[in-house]
Amino acid sequence: AQKVTQAQTEISVVEKEDVTLDCVYETRDTTYYLFWYKQPPSGELVFLIRRNSFDEQNEISGRYSWNFQKSTSSFNFTITASQVVDSAVYFCALSRAARQLTFGSGTQLTVLP
Partner 1 sequence: NAGVTQTPKFQVLKTGQSMTLQCAQDMNHEYMSWYRQDPGMGLRLIHYSVGAGITDQGEVPNGYNVSRSTTEDFPLRLLSAAPSQTSVYFCASSYRFERSSEQFFGPGTRLTVL
- Residues at the interface with partner 1 (CB under 8 A): 4, 6, 9, 31-33, 35, 43-45, 47, 50, 52, 91, 93, 95-97, 99-106
Cα–Cα dist 88/110, whole Å: 7
In terms of C-beta density within 10 A (0-12 exposed, 13-18 middle, 19 or more buried), how is residue 109 classed? buried
Nearer to partner 1, 54 or 113 (CB): 54
What three-state secondary structure class fits 63? coil
Nearer to partner 1, 18 or 59 (CB): 59
> Is the Cβ of residue 36 or residue 82 nearer to partner 1 in the bound state?
36
- What residue type is assigned to position 101 of the chain? L
Quote the least distance from Cβ 61 to partner 1, whole Å.
15
